[in-house]
C-alpha cells in the first residue's frame, strides 16, 4: 500500500499503544517494560483522524490492539478487510520469536469477534485474504482486493526497493519484519 503513494500508511499504530503506550495492555508487561508518555489510544486515534482529513489512510493492525476502542461508531470510520494466516504458521512464527508469548498476543479470538461484529453491522462480510493466496498469486489477489474495496489497482505497487522500514521498527527494531526489509515484492516464502 505504501508503494502506491495515494494513501498515508500506518503499521500497527494501536499495537504501539498496546505494547508500550502510557498505560500498556500487553499481558506480559513488567515493571521494566517500556512506556511512552503521551502515547495513548486517544492520541493515536486523534492523529489518525487528523491525517485522514488531509489524505486517505491505510491502517494494518491487529484486532486485540483495538479492543478498548471498538464500538459501532469507531468501526464506522473504516472500510474493513481481513488478512488471515494459517494458525500453525502464526503460532510457529510467534514461538520462534517469543517462546513465552501469551495467547492474547495472537488475536485469533478477537479477530473472529471483530469479523462477526463487522458482518452484523454492515450486513455483508468484509473482504478476506489468505496470506498464502496473496503470496502465491499477488497480482490476482491484490487486484481482487482493490476491486472489492473500490480503489484503483496499481500493478506497479506490487514491487518496491528492499531496505530498512522505519515504520515497522517501533518494536525491538523490527525483528518481526526481516523478510520485509529484504524483499522487493510479494513472493511465496
Residue pLDDT, tens place only, 14-69: 999 999 999 999 999 999 999 999 999 999 999 999 999 999 999 999 999 999 99
Is the pLDDT at 70 greater than 70? The verdict is: yes
Residue 71 lies in a domain: yes
pLDDT attached to residue 153: 98
Q: Could you tell me if residue 32 is inside a domain? A: yes
- Is 189 domain-assigned? no
d(C-alpha 53, C-alpha 63), whole Å: 24
Q: Is residue 16 assigned to a domain?
A: yes
Inter-residue contact 122 to 79 (CB < 8 Å): no
Kindly report whether the global pTM for this prediction surpasses the value 0.85: yes
Residue 171 pLDDT: 59
Question: Would you say residue 188 lies in a domain?
Answer: no
Residue 174 has pLDDT above 60, yes or no: no
d(CA 31, CA 4): 41
User: Has residue 123 been placed in a domain?
Assistant: yes
187 within a domain of the structure (yes/no): no
Place of cell 489510544: 41
Alpha carbon of residue 173 to chain centroid:
17
| Cell digits of residue 32 | 521494566
Domain range enclosing 29: 2-182
In this model, does residue 148 exceed pLDDT 80? yes
Q: How far is CA 134 from CA 25, 131, 160, in A?
A: 31, 5, 16
Number of domains in the chain: 1
Residues 6+ apart with CB under 8 A from 22: 35, 36, 37, 38, 39, 40
State mean pLDDT over 165-189.
Answer: 66
In a domain, 128, yes or no: yes
Q: Which three cell numbers stand for residue 145?
A: 482486493
Amino acid at each position: 500500500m505504501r508503494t502506491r503513494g495515494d494513501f498515508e500508511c500506518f503499521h500497527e499504530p494501536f499495537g504501539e499503544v498496546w505494547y508500550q503506550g502510557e498505560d500498556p495492555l500487553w499481558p506480559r508487561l513488567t515493571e521494566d517494560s517500556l512506556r511512552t508518555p503521551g502515547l495513548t489510544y486517544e492520541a493515536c486515534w486523534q492523529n489518525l483522524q487528523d491525517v485522514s482529513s488531509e489524505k486517505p489512510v491505510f491502517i494494518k493492525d491487529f484486532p486485540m490492539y483495538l479492543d478498548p476502542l471498538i464500538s459501532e461508531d469507531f468501526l464506522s470510520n473504516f472500510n474493513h478487510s481481513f488478512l488471515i494466516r494459517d494458525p500453525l504458521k502464526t503460532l510457529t512464527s510467534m514461538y520462534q520469536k517469543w517462546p513465552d508469548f501469551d495467547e492474547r498476543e495472537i488475536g485469533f479470538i478477537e479477530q473472529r469477534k471483530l469479523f462477526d461484529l463487522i458482518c452484523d453491522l454492515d450486513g455483508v462480510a468484509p473482504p478476506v485474504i489468505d496470506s498464502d493466496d496473496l503470496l502465491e498469486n499477488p497480482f490476482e489477489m491484490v487486484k481482487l482486493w482493490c476491486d472489492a474495496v473500490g480503489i484503483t489497482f496499481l500493478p506497479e505497487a506490487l514491487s518496491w526497493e528492499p531496505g530498512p522500514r522505519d515504520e515497522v521498527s517501533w518494536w525491538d527494531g523490527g525483528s518481526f519484519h526481516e523478510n520485509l526489509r529484504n524483499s522487493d515484492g510479494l513472493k511465496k516464502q
